[in-house]
Structure 1
Amino acid sequence: MLPIRRAALLLPILALTLSASNCKKVIVEAATPKLPEATQDGKNTFGCKLGDKVWLPGSDHMLLPPLDADLTGTGFTLRASDDHNDAPGWEEFNLSLNTTSFVPGTYTLRNGLTARYWSRENDLNNIEDYIAGSGNTGTLTITKVEPRTKTTTVLGNTVTSNFTVVSGTFEFTATTSAGKTITVKEGRFDVQAF
């Protein structure tokens, strides 16, 4: 009879231990950054893997938006930044595509694409500037280009704005002037370009 009692006492303790370890696992998984879904609705999302780390834009203030997209008659520019208080302090991706015919398709470093990643500490020291140049590889695949109009009411006035949904994927390697190289992969974005 004694072994059954011990088992009966140990069973709730074992269940609590397993339950606590599962909670810890759920909390860790929820805190781990994940790439945004690959959407095509103008949700203003951006994400990539910088090496093996998921990189997402973010801002500690409202003065500078962490994601900005411009579409003009000469091309498309996308800037994503993270101005956080921990090291390195400020990071930014810049993707540009010079073309007068902006349509879905895959563009490379040799046909109009420029790609750059840079970082610095909050005190403006230790700037690292990675530029995708002739010795690097890189592609930008535009999957959607769709002009849209949005009408809203601001202080009783109707305001109409025109923008273009631009969605796609990207990957590239880039190098500093000192020869350090980074790999950017699984990049994706879904933005409203003005």
Structure 2
Amino acid sequence: MIACNKDDEAPQPTPEPTEIEKLPPATQTGANKVGCLLNGRAFLPVGQSGGSNPYCGYYHDAFSLVFRITKNEDNITGNGTESVAVYSSDIILEEGMIYVLRADNSNHSGAYRINRINNFQSFETNTEYTGELHITKLDKEKNIISGTFWFDAVNEQGKKVEIREGRFDMVFEGWAG
């Protein structure tokens, strides 16, 4: 007689995570994690390029969140990178607020940049292509800022990129006043 045991079953492969499952969880602890979907694909910081990656600075009324994928680990000049950035200036951010990312006549913007030798492209928000920055936590004593973002950006040739499901939980450099 032949008997089958559960132990005899072939192991099942672990399913690949979806693009959104590759993003860091939306936390508010100062975990120094950031990520988003770029045209439906996970975009997470990889490598260094002459500074901290990711970078988050907040100096009273100027906020900057930049993270990049560095294609060349020895990259000092910034060539060979792709970056996503969210900026805010001339306004003191408040927890619980949502800010429109659009650039023109706004203090808030979003950008995606490709910087390779002989190929620099900049996609930016404007009055037609916009997005949102939502501050979910701002702890000025521990220098923690957390939130979500999304935006559409366009280059000079009219090509569009979509940034979705952006989330960040960072200890920021600077002072929040």
The 5-angstrom pairing of residues 18-167 of structure 1 reads: 18-19=10-11, 22=12, 24-26=13-15, 28-29=16-17, 34-59=22-47, 61=48, 63-85=50-72, 89-104=80-95, 105-109=97-101, 111-121=106-116, 124-149=117-142, 164-167=143-146
Give the count of matched residue pairs. 162
Q: Matched residues in 1 for 2:51 and 2:71: separation?
A: 12
Q: Which residue does 2:76 correspond to in 1?
A: none
Higher strand share goes to which structure?
1
Query: 1:75, CA displacement in angstroms?
Result: 1.9
Alignment root-mean-square deviation, CA: 2.7
Tell me which protein shows more helix as a share of its residues. 1
State how far apart, in whole Å, the 1-side matches of 2:49 and 2:161 are: 29
Distance 1:102 1:140 in 2: 10
Residue identity over aligned pairs, in percent, reads 27
Aligned AA for 1:51?
N
Instruction: Give the drift of 1:120.
Output: 3.0
**1:36 CA displacement:** 0.4
Distance (whole Å) between structure 2 residues aligned to residue 184 and residue 127 of structure 1: 19
Q: What is the distance in 2 between the residues matched to 1:91 and 1:62?
A: 11
Structure 1 residues without counterparts, runs of 5 or longer:
150-163
SS at match of 1:136: coil
Q: Residues of 1 paired with 2:101 and 2:171: CA distance?
A: 23
CA offset at residue 42 of structure 1? 0.9
Deviations 1:102-140 (A, max 9, x none): 21200003542111101133xx13222111112202110
Distance 1:40 1:136 in 2: 28
Residue identity opposite 1:50 in structure 2: L
The TM-score normalised by the length of structure 2 is: 0.79
Q: Could you list the per-position Cα deviations for residues 123-166 of structure 1 after superposition, in whole angstroms to 9, with x for gaps in the alignment?
A: x13222111112202110011110235xxxxxxxxxxxxxx111
Quick one: which of 160, 164, 172 aligns to 1:181? 160
* Highest RCO, 1 vs 2 (Cα 8 Å, sep ≥ 6): 2
In structure 2, give the amino acid aligned to 1:189: F
User: Normalized against structure 1, the TM-score is what?
Assistant: 0.73
- Secondary structure of the 2:141 match is strand
* Distance in 2 of aligned mates of 1:139 and 1:184: 10
Gaps of 5+ in 2: 74-78
